[in-house]
Chains A and B, each alone.
Chain A
Amino acid sequence: MQKYSVFSLIKNAFSNHQNWEVAWKDPTPKSEYDVVIIGGGGHGLATAYYLAKEHNIRNVAIIEKGWIGGGNVGRNTTIIRSNFMYDANARFNEFGMDLWRNLSQELNFNVMFSPRGIINLAHSDAQMNAYARRGNSMRLNGIDAKLLDRDEVKKFIPMADFSDEVRFPIFGGLMQPSAGTARHDAVAWGYARQADDMGVDIIQHCEVTGFDVVNGKIKGIRTSRGDIKAKKVGLCVAGSTNILAEKLNMTLPIETHVLQACVSEPVKPLLDGVVTFGAGHFYISQSDKGEMVMGGDLDGYNSYAQRGNLPTIQHVLTGGLALFPFLSRLKMLRTWGGIMDMSMDGSPIIDKTHIEGLYLNCGWCYGGFKSTPVSGWTFAHTIAQDQVHELNSELRLNRFSTGHLLDEKGLGTKTWIG
């Protein structure tokens, strides 16, 4: 494989960039694989990469109905953080932060990881207390957390509304300085390119239509491009999890909902890092191109449409304007939606299933992108070793029946409220 570097860039400039190697091939599916990963999004591609790299399992196929990176890995707001309170979530995502820090070098692909920090704003004394508790929990797990008072917040976001007339005055905030953003497409492409180089077949435009399960054991999958035998099958399909679960006669603690995001026209740099509004559903960051990237609530009803409705955008931006009045002068460039696999406690599931050789990776709710590397890493381990890793030992499917929930937000099972 051609290595990307400043020298290869200069060399290819002389031939008008016409002679770059293709980054990944377009193979016809073989009749049999050791492992088939369903879903060519960030998590699926990362899983295949770590299967090949960490476990030397290279007879692997990724089956994708559309094109790789066309789902949630291309639709998120690119935020990377590990500001979790519960040990299981904190350890899992902090391991992921370590993978992020070295990802560009590891993949030889600039994922533009930019640790500029995230601030969760507090708008009451009670919220400050809650953030102090969360910050302490994070620090006990080795994650950097800083409790900021009103003046310290003002230094970061002087353009926020700090006047006395506001309904939700800023009391302070909790900051994770090592959090940040990355270029989401590059993450998918970087993993795809390396996985392809190690022998993984990336099969696009191939829909899974069924499964071959004999005596409680997976034998293969049926697809729109023919049957494929497989010793092991991993599901990494986010919002489409329930569609495939139905074909397997499984019912899961997952509901699919649509989440929208939007960007404004690009403006000069004015916001460093990510800011979340603590009195409503709104968060914002500025992309390297200068667009303000914003998101907030789910549309609030079960949906498989990768598009949403305007009342939710209006609701989210009402919160945005309360925090940052300057937004009223910006034009909206575009809005879009992605479908979320909302789990019943807000935390993901990476586990084996009751079917031998079938593995499940789902329940990412709003926050799948930040966990892309660690999700792939632990899922690859779970598939290769046929047992969960210590990092995902609490992210199991049976936690709902045993009562070991990881309800980070304490919202209960009304997934659409969060």
Chain B
Amino acid sequence: MLYIKCPYCGLRAQKEFSYGGDATVKRPNINEEVSSEDWDKFVYMRKSPRGKHVELWQHIAGCRQWIKVQRDTATHEIFQTAKVTEEIR
């Protein structure tokens, strides 16, 4: 069981959260011309690193906020969590 520290609610069990994927994927700016290559990258292409990974989770059975989690994909160790508007360095 992972234990994730929600920035709003504190440390909670993984079962309260649902996953939202790679948080470093940025949607192309709205109302601007987007090349199909950039759109492909946004929709399909993923780095999926072995090691530190910044990802989105939603505290679905808690405050329902989306949060960012920095986690090791090989050891499942969680280094840092933050509000979705904050940057993880």
Contacts and interface: CB of A to CB of B under 8 A. Distances in A.
A301 B75 contact: no
Given A302-B22, A304-B73, A309-B2, A242 B40 contact: no
Max chain B C-beta neighbours (<10 A), residue from A242, A255, A303: A303
B58 to A, nearest CB: 12
A276 interface: no
B41 A251 contact: yes
B8 interface: no
A252 interface: yes
A410 interface: no
A401 B49 contact: no
A256 interface: yes
A253 B75 CA distance: 23
A243 B50 contact: yes
Nearest to A400: B44
B19 A400 contact: no
B43 interface: yes
* Chain A interface extent, by class: 20 to 34
Contact of A255 (B1, B48, B71): B48
Contacts of B47: 242, 246, 251
A95 B73 CA distance: 36
B14 interface: yes
A401 B37 contact: yes
B19 A416 contact: yes
Contacts of B75: 305
A107 to B, nearest CB: 33
DSSP majority for the A interface? mixed
B21 interface: yes
A413 interface: yes
A336 to B, nearest CB: 16
B40 A302 contact: no
B76 interface: yes
Q: Pick the most buried of B14, B15, B50, B75: most chain A CB atoms within 10 A of its CB.
A: B50
A256 B50 CA distance: 9
Given A416-B19, A416-B21, A242 B44 contact: no
B44 to A, nearest CB: 4
A305 B36 CA distance: 34
Given A253-B44, A401-B40, A302 B15 contact: no
A228 interface: no
A254 B14 CA distance: 24
Contacts of A242: 46-50
Contact of B44 (A243, A309, A344): A344
A400 B19 CA distance: 23
Contact of A302 (B1, B43, B48): B48
A246 B49 contact: yes
Contacts of B15: 311
16 contacts: A242-B48, A243-B50, A246-B49, A251-B45, A251-B46, A252-B46, A253-B45, A255-B46, A256-B73, A301-B55, A302-B22, A303-B74, A305-B74, A305-B76, A311-B14, A400-B43
Interface of B: 1-2, 14-15, 18-19, 21-22, 36-37, 40-41, 43-50, 53, 55, 71, 73-76
Given A302-B48, A344-B46, 7 more contacts: A246-B47, A251-B46, A254-B48, A255-B21, A344-B43, A400-B40, A400-B44
